[in-house]
């Protein structure tokens, strides 16, 4: 019986024939491993083509319009380079990053703590919910004048604006995560005599980690808005200050360069957040399909 | 909750029998009624007048149709669910809250997704962690993982291992503290038939070695007969234990298939099955008359 199997001619490997690429368009030769149907071509080349078309059209149209009203990508790049070399962009970028980081980290610390409190205690939830609902519904930018009255026009006030914009979604998602702790895990803690501290830090908080990061992502967008608004309305420093100044001077290319830098701040922060999540909480990868 | 550890004096650590009945677990006249959802509706009676004794080292199964309260009764023994009226004594002490040094295997394995297999098993030593050095804890967890055959998977996350392995991890977590009382709530309920029968055989040999007093909830009659010294059949009509069947088959018991080839075992299985099915039909008849009215 065994010899029978050995003597049989091995079946033609179907993949080998496909690999030589004669049957398919040339770009499908570079399929991304583990992702059938998705090729390096479709994944990277198509976006690049799209961007190239966009910038070409912009360049052509921008060159024919009044330079006060509109600009071209090449001018934006030149403006960015000037801003970097003459030392206006660096400090502005630093101020922006600092405002964002301090306000956001404070919001995360307070938001997670309050979120745990609300998630655990029905009394705290009932008592704090009105405020959370109020601040969620209020356009918080309207509170900027009040922040100025209370905290002046400096660093503190900007941090407060970032904080009050970011903190609510962190509170809400943390509370939701803590509340969703499976009752079976609570039972495990009870059977093995977890104390209150262990229950919170060992079960409820880790269970909320995916929710907390979802909240942090939402809060990051809001914190960015808060940062720019604060720099435009309160102190006129940082990237927000640059945007206002160049806007008033009709330097459209420089304005767009500043906006582009601001969006880079957002991208850097988002990447940082994702790196932290993957580094500290590798188990959250695909955590949405975990059982209950 | 931590105080429970200190409250247990060394001499109480060993299983203490009930003063009157000399059993490790004594259930006397226990019932439970949930208040009605709406006013004017009848309160929901879950259990009524349950009596059961589980002796030192005995393995007792609770069998019955779904909704007969077998899981509720087990959770009561483990202090996870309150009861009234009646009394439950575990190791000579009235159960109010979780009794010290018990192991509990949950239906859905209830592992923490952020802890590795090894760390999950270590949870089972949380209660007695102050009595051991780090090295002792490490050795105990390793030994228990060896026992359930998961030592090679110690660093895996729960979602990276199969359902059967997850259940074995849950079992290891319950065993690592060397509990006097082992409570199991349909631990193999969600597994496929092959994994299930292999785990049953493994459990039989593990329980034989640990000599823990065990209560096992299942709806699988074969499983109950194979594993147990006694099988308590519960009724969803009378909301109590209908009959307790002695499984007087010597241990160690062989493979399941061989065991059920024995005429006597087949008779016992038949007896339990008739009881369970009788209960099911009675319950069905009861609901029929209810709907007819």
The whole-angstrom separation of Cα A48 and Cα A41 is 10
Domains of chain B plus CATH, in order, are 57-68+100-292 (3.40.50.300)
User: pLDDT value at position A32?
Assistant: 62
Does residue B10 surpass a pLDDT of 60? no
Closest CA to A208 of A128, A116, A105, A133: A116
Chain A's closest residue to B174, CA to CA, is A192
User: pLDDT value at position B194?
Assistant: 85
**Residue A73 domain-assigned (yes or no):** no
Any B CB within 8 A of A191 CB: yes
Any B CB within 8 A of A206 CB: yes
DSSP assignment string, B230-259: EEEEEETTTTEEEEEEE----SS---HHHH
- On chain B, the residues whose CB falls within 8 A of the CB of A291 are 108, 159
Does residue B5 surpass a pLDDT of 50? no
A21, A121: one domain: no
- On chain A, the residues whose CB falls within 8 A of the CB of B158 are 290
A227, A188: one domain: yes
A85, A53: one domain: no
Cα–Cα–Cα angle for B102, B66, B261, nearest 5°? 80
Q: Select from A185, A192, A283 the Cβ nearest to the Cβ of B127.
A: A192
User: pLDDT value at position A19?
Assistant: 52
Q: CB neighbours (10 Å) of residue A63?
A: 13
Beta bridge partners of B245: B231
pLDDT digit string, tens, across residues B205-234: 888 888 789 999 998 888 888 888 999 999
**ipTM computed for the complex:** 0.84
**Residue A285 domain-assigned (yes or no):** yes
**Residue A3 domain-assigned (yes or no):** no
Q: Are B182 and B164 in contact (CB under 8 A)?
A: no
A90, A136: one domain: yes
Number of domains in chain A: 2
- On chain B, the residues whose CB falls within 8 A of the CB of A192 are 123-124, 126-127, 173, 177
A88, A172: one domain: yes
Residues of chain A with pLDDT under 70: 1-42, 286-292
How many helices (H) and strands (E) chain A has is answered by: 14, 0
The residues near B79 (Cβ < 8 Å, ≥ 6 apart) are: A190, B90, B95, B96, B97, B98, B99
Pick from A228-237, B12-21, B163-172: least confident: B12-21
User: pLDDT value at position A25?
Assistant: 61
Tell me which of B114, B127, B159, B180 to substitute to probe the interface with A (most A C-beta atoms closer than 10 Å). B114
**Residue A1 domain-assigned (yes or no):** no
Does residue B12 surpass a pLDDT of 50? no
Does residue B14 surpass a pLDDT of 60? no
Q: Select from B4, B80, B113 the Cβ nearest to the Cβ of A290.
A: B113
Any B CB within 8 A of A201 CB: no
User: pLDDT value at position A227?
Assistant: 93
CA B140 remoteness from chain centre: 22
Closest CA to A159 of A63, A67, A95: A95
- pLDDT bin (cut points 50, 70, 90) of residue B287 is low
* Helix A238-248 / helix A89-120 crossing angle, nearest 10 deg: 130
Task: Report the share of chain B in percent with pLDDT over 70.
Answer: 89
> Does residue B3 have a cis peptide bond before it, meaning omega lies within 30 degrees of 0?
no
- On chain A, the residues whose CB falls within 8 A of the CB of B1 are 190, 193-196
**Residue A6 domain-assigned (yes or no):** no
Any idea what the CATH number is for the domain that residue A274 is in? 1.10.3720.10
Looking at residues B194-214, what average pLDDT do you find?
85
pLDDT digit string, tens, across residues B39-58: 777 888 888 888 999 998 89
A84, A221: one domain: yes
Domain range enclosing A162: 80-289
Q: Are B213 and B15 in contact (CB under 8 A)?
A: yes
Residue A195's φ and ψ, nearest 5 degrees, are -85, 180
Contact state of B98 with A188 under an 8 Å Cβ cutoff: no
Closest CA to B180 of B121, B139, B127: B127
Looking at residues B61-70, what average pLDDT do you find?
87
Contact state of B4 with A185 under an 8 Å Cβ cutoff: no
Contact state of B110 with A191 under an 8 Å Cβ cutoff: no
Residue B236's φ and ψ, nearest 5 degrees, are -90, -5
- On chain B, the residues whose CB falls within 8 A of the CB of A286 are 159
Chain B's closest residue to A287, CA to CA, is B113
The whole-angstrom separation of Cα B104 and Cα B91 is 16
**Residue A48 domain-assigned (yes or no):** yes
User: pLDDT value at position A8?
Assistant: 57
**Residue A11 domain-assigned (yes or no):** no
Q: What is the dihedral of CA A71, A72, A75, A77, to 10 degrees?
A: 120
A189, A266: one domain: yes
A28, A119: one domain: no
Cα–Cα–Cα angle for B1, B7, B10, nearest 5°? 130
Any B CB within 8 A of A184 CB: yes
DSSP assignment string, A203-257: IIHHHHHHHHHHHHHHHHHHHHHHHHHHIIIII--HHHHHHHHHHHTT-HHHHHH
The answer for B 143-172 residues in CB contact with A (under 8 A) is 157-159
A53, A96: one domain: no
Any B CB within 8 A of A288 CB: no
User: pLDDT value at position A276?
Assistant: 92
A114, A39: one domain: no
């Amino acid at each position: 019986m065994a010899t029978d199997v050995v003597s049989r001619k091995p079946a033609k490997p179907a993949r080998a024939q496909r690999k030589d690429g004669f049957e398919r368009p040339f770009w499908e030769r570079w399929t991304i491993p583990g992702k059938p149907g998705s090729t390096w071509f479709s994944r990277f080349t198509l976006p690049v083509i799209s961007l190239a078309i966009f910038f070409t059209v912009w360049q052509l149209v921008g060159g024919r319009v009044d330079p006060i009203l509109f600009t071209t990508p090449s001018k934006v790049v030149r403006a960015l380079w000037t801003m970097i070399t003459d030392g206006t962009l660096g400090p502005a970028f630093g101020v922006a990053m600092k405002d964002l980081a301090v306000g956001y980290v404070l919001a995360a610390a307070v938001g997670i703590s309050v979120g745990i409190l609300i998630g655990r205690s029905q009394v705290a939830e009932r008592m704090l919910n009105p405020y959370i609902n109020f601040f969620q519904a209020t356009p918080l930018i309207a509170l900027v004048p009040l922040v100025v009255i209370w905290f002046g026009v400096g660093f503190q006030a900007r941090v407060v604006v970032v904080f009050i914009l970011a903190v609510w979604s962190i509170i809400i998602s943390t509370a939701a995560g803590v509340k969703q702790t499976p009752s079976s895990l609570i039972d495990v803690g009870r059977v093995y005599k977890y104390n209150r501290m262990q229950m919170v830090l060992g079960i409820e908080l880790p269970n909320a980690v995916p929710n907390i990061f979802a909240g942090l992502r939402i809060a990051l967008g809001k914190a960015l808005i808060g940062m720019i608004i604060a720099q435009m309305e309160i102190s006129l420093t940082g990237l927000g200050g640059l945007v206002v100044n160049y806007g008033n001077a009709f330097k459209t290319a420089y304005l767009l360069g500043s906006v582009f830098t601001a969006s880079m701040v957002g991208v850097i922060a988002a990447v940082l957040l994702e790196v932290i999540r993957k580094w500290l909480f590798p188990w959250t990868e695909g955590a949405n399909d975990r059982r209950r | 909750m931590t105080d429970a550890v200190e409250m247990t004096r060394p001499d109480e650590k060993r299983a203490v029998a009930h003063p009157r009945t000399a059993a490790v677990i004594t259930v006397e006249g226990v019932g439970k009624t949930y208040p009605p959802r709406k006013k004017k509706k009848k309160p929901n009676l879950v259990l009524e007048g349950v009596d059961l004794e589980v002796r030192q080292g005995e393995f007792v199964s609770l069998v019955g149709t779904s909704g007969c309260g077998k899981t509720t009764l087990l959770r009561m023994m483990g202090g996870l669910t309150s009861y009234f009226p009646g009394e439950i004594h575990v190791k000579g002490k009235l159960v109010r809250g979780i009794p010290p040094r018990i192991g509990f295997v949950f239906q859905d394995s209830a592992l923490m997704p952020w802890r590795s297999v090894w760390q999950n098993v270590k949870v089972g030593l949380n209660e007695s962690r102050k009595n051991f050095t780090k090295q002792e804890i490490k050795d105990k967890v390793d030994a228990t993982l060896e026992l359930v055959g998961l030592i090679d998977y110690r660093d895996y996350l729960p979602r990276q291992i199969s359902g059967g392995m997850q259940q074995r991890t849950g079992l290891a977590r319950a065993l690592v503290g060397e509990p006097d009382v082992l409570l199991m709530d349909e631990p193999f309920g969600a597994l496929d038939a092959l994994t299930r029968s292999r785990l049953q055989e493994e459990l039989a040999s593990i329980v034989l070695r640990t000599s823990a007093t065990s209560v096992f909830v299942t709806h699988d009659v074969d499983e109950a007969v194979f594993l147990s010294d006694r099988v308590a059949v519960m009724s969803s009509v009378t909301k109590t234990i209908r009959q307790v069947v002695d499984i007087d088959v010597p241990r160690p018991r062989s493979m399941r298939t061989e065991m059920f080839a024995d005429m006597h075992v087949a008779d016992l299985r038949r007896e339990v099955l008739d009881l369970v099915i009788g209960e099911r039909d009675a319950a069905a008849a009861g609901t029929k008359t209810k709907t007819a009215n």
